[in-house]
Amino acid sequence: MAMKIAFIASEATPYAKTGGLADVVGALPISLRQLGLNVTVFLPRYKGIKGTLCDHISIAMGEKYDISVYKDDDFYFIDYPDFFNRDGLYGTEKGDFPDNCERFTLFSKVVSQLILKSSYDIVHCHDWQTGLIPLYLKLGKSRARSVFTIHNLGYQGRFPVQKFPILGLDNGYFTPSGIEYYGDINFLKAGILYSDVVTTVSENYAQEIQTPEMGFGLGGVLRTRQASLIGIVNGIDYDQWNPETDDLIYKKYADFRGKQKNRQRLMDECGLGGTRPLIGMVSRIAGQKGFDILVKAFDSIIDMGFNMIILGSGDESFQKKLTTFSTVHPQRVSVNIKFDNKLAHRIYAGSDFFLMPSRYEPCGLGQLISLRYGTIPIVRHTGGLADTITDYDPVSAKGNGFIFTEYSSKHLVTALSRSMMIYNCRDAFEKLSEKCMTINFSWGESAKKYVQLYKNTRLSGTEE
């Protein structure tokens, strides 16, 4: 009989998305089903999500909450309109919703009750919003084994101690050896401590987060789980990201010549002139993504002869600086402060290089997408970027991008200068671009690793 897997997350495509978590939870179950697993996904029922009413459940959380459960294909949605029928998933431009503790405690309690009534083999929880579920399942003596995936350790779900009674836990769990963290509740810490296996989204990131520098205060806790902490790199959905079938780009292509037609159209659309190499960025505009060292290097980048197109939104101070650069250099820099899926596809297809100078990057999807479109990545050696991009050697022609290690504007500029040298060697540049198009980071390979992980986790449970 096929293993029965429950995926639990706060977002998943095509229903709700703020970032890469949604892409993973939307795509990975599809690949797991193709490998013979029975996978269902549990999400909050956010504003606009349809479905068929299939269950009711009552939850005590200081007071009684009556919850509806909706279903659409293999997705179950936890419906409590006061909490989830809002314009944002986690907050507004002004900040996080003040009741996120209540919202995701309720979600976790409801899903845990549904799991306990069923017969799942593996419960796969994602990020802090689901961190309480492994603990609730243990308290409920569930036969299911739990896997907890950290997509970004920087987001932990910390809430004031005054909200602890909402969780419905014995006071013994609010200790330094439990879910207490510098006087606060920490949902992510709960997931780390009480799951059977902890995973992250790349092998290198699994090592980084155990260090004081990258552990965000939880490095010591993660080291206690070292024996059951595993990194599996994310994949991408090649049905969505494929220049040969992509209806959102200017012209579908399978080689360097076709790519150049997209490049020219993108330059024209964004008002960029000349034959200079084009750097693309599709990113959340934040310090984590390297925008602090980027803005310091901007004059050097322009002086070196690059054009640049940036798409994204985020930190207002960085947005203002980027907008100023585009005003000063209107034919060299295009800054687009918005979410625009069509333009994102066109940037991947039309840029010569794709820049990710991240301070830290758990996995990164941008570099994987850019490879498929023949857009050569320029990345910092961190997290999943280090696992997926190898430095290009002009002598041997080995490698698939350009890497810098030290987090500084100086080393970013050095990597860019190396990429400029290859751009000016047109034959080498064309061969590298087409080589990138052939590199496979499909979900199929990563899914096989998860299947083996689930099997091992289930077997370890039978031995206890």
Q: What pLDDT does residue 463 have?
A: 53
pLDDT digits (tens, 9 = 90+) for 266-324: 999 999 987 899 999 999 898 999 999 999 999 999 999 999 999 998 889 999 999 99
Percent above pLDDT 70 for the chain: 99
The CATH architecture assigned to 256-437 reads 3-Layer(aba) Sandwich (3.40)
Q: What pLDDT does residue 321 have?
A: 95
Q: Which of 99, 4, 127, 110 is nearest to 64 (CA)?
A: 110
Q: What pLDDT does residue 19 have?
A: 81
Between CA 254 and CA 275 the distance in angstroms is 22
pLDDT digits (tens, 9 = 90+) for 197-240: 999 999 999 999 999 999 999 999 999 999 999 999 999 889 88
DSSP states along 13-59: TTTB-SSHHHHHHHHHHHHHHHTT-EEEEEEE--TT---EEEEEEEE
Task: Flag whether pLDDT at 464 surpasses 60.
Answer: no
CA distances from 339 to 131, 185, 198, 278, 321 (A): 29, 33, 32, 20, 19
Q: Which of 226, 229, 269 is nearest to 248 (CA)?
A: 269
Q: What pLDDT does residue 459 have?
A: 83
Between CA 119 and CA 135 the distance in angstroms is 17
Residues 134/195, Cβ–Cβ less than 8 Å: yes
* One-letter amino acid of 28: L
* One-letter amino acid of 163: K
CA distances from 234 to 18, 130, 383, 384 (A): 17, 19, 12, 8
pLDDT digits (tens, 9 = 90+) for 328-348: 999 999 999 988 999 999 999
What value, to the nearest 5°, has the Cα angle with vertex 88 and ends 84 and 94? 125
Buried b (16+ CB within 10 A) or exposed e, 133-148: bbbbbeeeebebbbbb
pLDDT digits (tens, 9 = 90+) for 57-93: 999 998 899 999 999 999 999 999 999 999 999 998 7
- Output the CATH code of domain 4-235+443-462: 3.40.50.2000
Domain range annotation of the chain: 4-235+443-462, 256-437
Could you tell me which residue, 240 or 413, shows the higher pLDDT?
A: 413
pLDDT digits (tens, 9 = 90+) for 362-412: 999 999 999 999 999 999 999 999 999 999 999 999 999 999 999 999 999
Cis peptide leading into residue 29 (ω within 30°): no
Q: Which of 328, 323, 298 is nearest to 311 (CA)?
A: 323
Between CA 27 and CA 45 the distance in angstroms is 19
Q: At residue 309, what are phi and psi to the nearest 5 degrees?
A: -130, 130
Domains 4-235+443-462 and 256-437 belong to one CATH topology? yes
DSSP bridge partners of 199: 149, 230
Q: What pLDDT does residue 94 have?
A: 80
Residues 237/17, Cβ–Cβ less than 8 Å: no
Buried b (16+ CB within 10 A) or exposed e, 256-270: bebbbbbbebbbeeb
pLDDT digits (tens, 9 = 90+) for 258-275: 999 999 999 999 999 878
- CA 295 to the chain's CA centroid: 24
Residues 59/29, Cβ–Cβ less than 8 Å: no
Q: What is the chain's percent helix, strand, coil content, to nearest 5?
A: 40, 20, 35
Between CA 349 and CA 346 the distance in angstroms is 5
Q: Which of 371, 369, 364, 374 is nearest to 241 (CA)?
A: 369
Q: What pLDDT does residue 462 have?
A: 57
What lies within 8 Å, CB to CB, of 207 at 6+ separation is 231
Residues 309/325, Cβ–Cβ less than 8 Å: no
Percent above pLDDT 90 for the chain: 91
How many other C-beta atoms are found inside a 10 Å radius of the C-beta of residue 339? 13
Task: Flag whether pLDDT at 107 surpasses 60.
Answer: yes
Mean predicted lDDT score pLDDT of the chain: 95
Structure tokens at 385: 């970027």
Between CA 219 and CA 314 the distance in angstroms is 27
Q: What pLDDT does residue 1 have?
A: 76
Q: What pLDDT does residue 274 have?
A: 77
Q: What pLDDT does residue 273 have?
A: 82
What lies within 8 Å, CB to CB, of 384 at 6+ separation is 201, 202, 204, 205, 233, 234, 361, 362, 363, 364, 367
